[in-house]
A and B are shown apart, each in its own frame.
Chain A
C-alpha cells in the first residue's frame, strides 16, 4: 500500500502532500520535513530507494523518489509494493502531469493544487494503484474538465441544455477484452440442511 505521496521542491517547500494512512497534522508536517531531510542529502548517482524515516514507520517502509529539476516526487510505500513498479508509476504520474499542463513546471503544481490532486486520484485510490495507463488517465481528466467547465459556465443556461450535459456520460475507450473463460469454480460449500 502507498502510505503517502509527497512533492516538495529543492528547498523543502511542500508542493503537494497526500496521506493514505492516518497521521496527525503535526506528524504529517514532521514526515514531510524528515523525508526532505533524508532525500535531499542524497547524491544524483545513488539509488532511488531508501528506508523510511522513523515517523512513517521505520525500515518496514520504503521511500521511493525521483528528482525532476526543481521538484522531488516521493512515494512512501510499505513492503507490499514493488520498488521498480512504483518508480515507473512516478514516471507515469509526471508524464501525465506534463500532458495535462502542457510542459508542467513547479508553478503549475502550486496554482492548480486541486487539479493535481484530481489527476492523482485517477491513478491512486485509497493507497492502491488504480490506473497506470497514461492515455486513460488523461482521457478521464479531460472529460471531467470539459463537463465541469461547461457546467460552471451554465449558470443561467436553459434547463434543457443543463440536463443534456448532466446526462452525458464519460467517454470510454473500448477496453473490453476477452480474458478467456476463466472458469472460476465456486468452492464446495458445505451443504447445510
Chain B
C-alpha cells in the first residue's frame, strides 16, 4: 500500500503545478536570487565591497518581506537569503518576526525553513520567541509526523523557560507515541527542559525510567543523555540503575543489537561510550557498585580489538572508567597496557589521547610515566604544539625537587615560542607555582621568576607578582637566607635595568621597583645614587604607565629616607613640582616636604617593615581638635558624599565641581595612594570628588603622608594577600640541600640504559630522561615522591596577618560563645528524670539521620512508652498544632529484622526527650544522628514560628564523665545558623544527657540540603564524630496569615511567578480537599476560597512570602505561585506535586 502511495507521490509534482526551480540536490539553481547573490559575493575582492553588497541585499530583502504582496513561497526564499546574511555576520533583525510568521502559516516546506530561521536567529531569552509558543503547541498536536518532529526539534534548540508548562504535557504524551523517532525527539526535548529548568520536570522522573526501558534502542540512547546529567549531579540517587546500565552495555558489547547499529562493524560505539561514562560516574569511590561493572569493563577491553578510530574511542573511555571507579588491580594492569598502546601509537590523535590519559592517571600510578619516559621526551620536541602542551602538563604533575630545573626550563622554552595568550598565562602560572614550591636555590628562583614576568607580560594573573612580593617581604624562618634572597633580587634587577632601551612589562617593572625601593640598601656596595638615577631615567620613559610611575615615586621616597642628601632627588623634585600630571606633582611635593624633616621620614619609613601591622586610628580622633576648631569658626558640619550629591541634584543651579573632582579622585586612586582601607584615604577621596573647596584646607602634610604610607603598607600593595594566605604550606625542612637535579643519578634511568650503542642524539634524550624522571616512582629504590615533596619545599610563606586575624576571630567566637550560651543553658535545663525513666523502655534502630526517612525507619517501641504520647509521637507532616499532634497518635509497631533487634538490644542507651516548653510546639521525633562507644547524639527538629530549632542531645554512654565536648556545625551552602555554629559542653556526667539548641534559617533555597557537623570529646583520647542533618524546604515554610485584600496587593507587587497544571487524583476531586491537603502537608495558610478558585499564602523563614493561586477545571488543578524570590516558587511547586501525587 505504502509503495503505491509513494509512487503516486513521486509522480504528483510532475502532474500538478509548475516545476520547482530548486529541484534536485546537487544541481545549482541558476535562476535563484540566492545564487546570484553568492555569485556576486565570490566575485568581490575586498571586505568593504562585500559589506556594501550585503547592505544592498538586506535593504531589498527588507522591502520585500514587509511588502504585503510577498507570497509565502517567496518569503521562504527570502529567509534562506537572510540566513546567509546572518551567517556572514550582518544584522537582519527585521526578518525575525517574518520567520516566526512563516513557521506559523507556511506549508511543510515553508514551515521548515521558518523554524530553521527562528532557531538560527533567536536565542532563549528573545522576546519574540513567545510568539512561537502557540505554533509549537499546534504542531505538537498535529497528525503529521513531520510537523511534530519540527516542533520537537525547535523546542530542543530554543524554548523560553517560563513557557515550558504550556508544552510539557504534550511532550510527555509523545513519550507514548508509536513512532520511535517521535519518542526519541521527545526525550531529547525533555533533556533540554531538564537542563534549563530541572525543577519543572522533577515529577516525571519515572517517565525517564520508562524511556530507558524503551524497546527501541534509539529512545533508550536518548534517555542516557538525561541520566548522564542527573548522575553527574547526584550519583548516589541512581546506584540502583547500575545493574541495568551494565546489562545494556553487556548486550551492546555482546553484539545483541541489529547489524544496523554497527559502525565499521563495531556495535553502537557512541552508545558504548555514553554507557561507560555513566558507569564511571556511578562507580566512583564506591567499591560495591564498582564490583558490578568489572566484568563488563573487562569484556569491553577485550572486544575492542579492531584497528579503527572508533574502537580506540571505546578503549579510551574504558581506561578512563577503570581509573575512575574503585580500582581492581587486574583491570588497572590491562588499562595501563592500553594507555601504552595509545602513547606508542604512530597515529598522532591516539598519541595525544594517550598523553591525556597519562596526565589523568600519573598521580595514581607514577610508574607509568617511567615506562613511557622516552616517548614523553620525544613528545617534548613534537612539532605539534598541542602534543607539547599536553606533555608539559604531565611533567608539571610529576615535578619534584630534583627535576624542577629541567622541567621549568622546558616550560619556559615553550612559553618563549609565543603561543596564544591564554595558554601562556596558565602555563606561566604553573611555572611560578613550581618555582616557588621546589626552587633549589635563590639565584635560580629569581632568574625563573624574572623569566615568568618578562614572558607572561601584563596578562599575567595579578596573584603571581603579589605572591612573589609577599614571599620576599615576609621571608622565611632563616634571617640570613632572607637577606641573601633579597640581595640577589636587588642585584639582578639592577643589571636588568642597566640595559637601555629594553622593554619590560609593567608588572615586571613594578616588581623590580618595589624590591629596589624596599631592599636596595642590602646591596651595600651599590651607591644609592646609581639606583636613584636608574629610577629617574625610568620616569622619563614613554612606555612606563602612570601607574608604574607612582610605584617609582614611592620607591624613590623610600630610598631617600635612607640617604642623607642626593642630587638626583633634588633634581627629581624640581622637575616634577611643575609637572602637568597632578599625581606626579603631588608625589613630588610630598617628597619635598619629607626631605625637609629627615627624622619624621625615618620614622615614617622604617626599613623592612612592609609586613608589620600598622595601627590605624580609624575614628580619626586626632582630628577632633581640628574639627572642633573648624566648627567654632563657623564651618559647615561634614556631610557624607552621598548626601552632598543628593543635595547637589536638588539644586541644579549650583556650580558643578563634578568633572574636576571625579577625574582627580580617579587619578589618585589609580596611582594606588588610597588603599581604600585607610580612613584618611577614604575621606580624602570622597572629599575631592565631592567638593573641591574642602580639599583645599584638608590638604595638609599629615594627611598626604598618611595616604602615602599606605603605598607600601600591606594592604596597599598586596591587596589579595589574605585570600591566598590560607593555602596550606608544607613544613619547611631545616636544611635545603641545593642539589641540582642533574647531578643526581637516577637508578631507574641507568636501568633503562642497557643498550650502549645510542646515537649522540639518543644519548642526549636519555640524559634528559634521567633528569626529568628522577625521583619518580618505586623503581628509584626508595620512593622519593612523598619525601622530596616535603624536603624541598623551600619557600614557606609566613602569613603573619592571617595568624593574627585568626586569633582575633577565634577570640571573637569564644566571646560570643560565652555571652550567648551561658544563659541559654540555664533557661533550658536538661530533663534528666525523663531520660532516666525512658532508658530501658525504648529501643531503636541506630543511624537515623534524615527527617524524610524517619517514617521509613523502624521505630521499635515497647508498650510502656505508648502511655506517654507526648514523648512517642511519630513525625507526621500534617501535624501543625499540638492538638492535631495528639489526635494523630496512631502508633504502629514495626517488627524490626532480627539483626536490627539484636543490635538495638545491645544498645539500650537512653533516648532523650525534649524539654517541656518545646514539647508543646510542633516537632519531629527524636532521631539518632551518630554514635560511638562513648557518646550518642540525637536530634529533634522543632518547627518554631520564627525559625527551625534543632535540639541536639549528647548522651554519655560511659561510666565516667566526658570532658570538653565540642559540637560544631560546619558552614553549609544553603543554611544559616543564627548565633554561633558551635557549642561546648564543659562536661557530661556519666550516663547522662546534655542538650543544646540551634536556630536555623534557610539561606539559599533548595528542596533538600545537608547541614554537616561534628562533635569532638575527650574520653581516654580525643575523639571526633561526624554527622549530618538533612533539612528540607518544608522545615522552613510557615503559614502566613493575611486578608484577601492584603493578598491582592501583595500579589500585584510580586514579580516572579511559576504556573503549572497538575492532575488531581479522584480522592481529592474537590478544590477544598486539595487545598486542605496543601494546608496540612505544606503548612500553607488558606486565605480565601471563592468558587473554583482558592488563594493561599506562606512564608519562608525569616520572612519571604510566597503566594499561591489555585483553580480547578476538569480534573486539573492550576497552580500559580508568586514570590519576590525566584527560586521559592519552583521549590514549592515541586513539594506540591509531591504531596498531590502521594495523597
Which residues of A come within 8 Å of B, CB atoms? 14, 16-18, 20, 22, 25, 28-29, 32, 38, 42-43, 45-51, 53-54, 58-59, 80, 82-85, 87-89, 92, 100-103, 107-108, 110-115, 117-118, 121, 125-126, 128-133, 135-136, 140, 144, 146-157, 161, 164-173, 175-180, 182-188, 190-193
Please give the distance in Å from B838's CB to the nearest CB on chain A.
25
A80-B228, A111-B35, A148-B146 known; A85+B269 contact, CB < 8 A: yes
Compute how far the CA of A74 lies from the CA of B348 in the bound complex, rounded to whole angstroms: 18
| Cβ contact within 8 Å between B422 and A110 | no
Known: A133-B263, A182-B213. 7 other contacts (CB 8 A): A25-B89, A50-B386, A84-B313, A110-B84, A111-B32, A114-B80, A187-B240
**B273 touches A (CB below 8 Å):** yes
The residue from A110, A118, A140, A148 contacting B38, defined by CB atoms under 8 A apart:
A110
B238 to chain A, nearest CB (A): 9
Query: Quick one: CB contact mask for B858-896 with A, threshold 8 Å, 1 for yes?
Result: 000000000000000000110000000000000000000
**A126 close to B188 (CB less than 8 A):** yes
Q: A159 vs B8: C-alpha distance in the bound complex, in angstroms?
A: 15
User: How many A-B Cβ pairs are below 8 Å?
Assistant: 265
Name the distance in Å between B43's Cβ and chain A's nearest Cβ: 13
B386 contact set on A, CB distance < 8 A: 46-47, 49-51
Residue pairs across A and B with Cβ atoms less than 8 A apart, 15 shown, are A45-B348, A54-B421, A87-B309, A102-B25, A107-B28, A108-B26, A111-B32, A114-B83, A117-B120, A128-B222, A129-B270, A146-B9, A147-B146, A155-B17, A169-B179
- Shortest C-beta distance, A118 to chain B (Å), equals 7
Q: Are B16 and A157 in contact (CB under 8 A)?
A: yes
A166 touches B352 (CB 8 A): no
Give Cα A117–Cα B150 distance, bound, in whole angstroms. Answer: 12
Chain B residues with CB below 8 A from A130, complex form: 184-185, 188, 222
Measured CA separation A133–B269 after assembly (Å): 11
Say whether A180 contacts B251, CB under 8 Å: yes
Q: Are B422 and A59 in contact (CB under 8 A)?
A: yes
Give the complex CA separation of A135 and B251 in angstroms: 22
Tell me the bound Cα distance from A166 to B146 in angstroms.
9
Beta-carbon contact of B251 and A88 below 8 Å: no
Q: Which A-chain residue is minimally distant from B352 (CB atoms)?
A: A47
Q: List residues of B whose CB falls within 8 A of some A CB.
A: 2, 5-6, 9-10, 12-13, 16-17, 20, 22, 25-26, 28-29, 32, 34-35, 38, 73, 80, 83-84, 86-89, 91, 107-109, 112-113, 116, 120, 123-125, 143-146, 153, 156-157, 179-181, 184-185, 188-189, 191-192, 206, 209, 212-213, 215-218, 220, 222, 225, 228, 237, 240-241, 244, 247-248, 251, 256-258, 260-261, 263, 269-270, 273, 277, 309-310, 312-313, 316-317, 348-349, 351-353, 383-384, 386-387, 389, 420-423, 426, 852-853, 855-856, 876-877, 1142
A177, B215: Cβ atoms under 8 Å?
yes
* Contact flag A14-B240 (CB < 8 Å), given A149-B13, A175-B260: no
Quick check: B383 and A43 within 8 Å, CB to CB?
Answer: yes
A175 lies within 8 A of B188 (CB): no
**Centre residue among B10, B91, B241, B310 by max chain A CB count within 10 A:** B310
Q: Do A51 and B423 touch across chains, with their CB atoms under 8 A apart?
A: yes
Cβ-neighbour of A49 out of B143, B217, B313, B349 (below 8 A)? B349
Which residues of B are found within 8 Å of A166, using beta-carbon distances? 143-144
Most chain A CB within a 10 A radius of its CB, from B16, B113, B241, B1142: B16
Q: For the complex, give the distance between the alpha carbons of A54 and B206 in Å.
A: 40
Which of B91, B157, B240, B353 makes the CB contact (< 8 A) with A126? B157
Inter-chain CA distance A167–B91, complex, in Å, is 39
Beta-carbon contact of A114 and B317 below 8 Å: no
A190 near B13 with CB under 8 A, answer no
Contact partner, B89, options A29, A150, A193, Cβ 8 Å? A29
Q: Which 3 A-B pairs have the closest CB atoms?
A: A84-B313, A153-B13, A126-B156
Contact A173 B260 (CB under 8 A): yes
**A85 and B270 within 8 A (CB):** yes
A84 touches B270 (CB 8 A): no
Is the Cβ of A25 less than 8 Å from the Cβ of B91?
Answer: yes
Tell me how far the C-beta of A67 lies from the nearest C-beta in chain B, rounded to whole angstroms: 13
| Bound-complex Cα distance A101 to B1006 (A) | 52
Q: How far is the CA of A169 from the CA of B349 in the complex (A)?
A: 43
Give the contacting residue for A131; candidates B26, B218, B423; CB below 8 A. B218
With the chains together, A50 CA to B157 CA distance in Å? Answer: 26
Select which of A165, A176, A186 is within 8 A of B215 by beta carbon.
A176
CB distance from B378 to the nearest CB of A (A): 15
A91→B270 CA distance, assembly (Å): 13
Q: Taking each of B35, B206, B228, B260, which has the highest tally of chain A beta carbons within 10 Å of its own beta carbon?
A: B260
CA distance A117 to B80 in the complex (A): 11
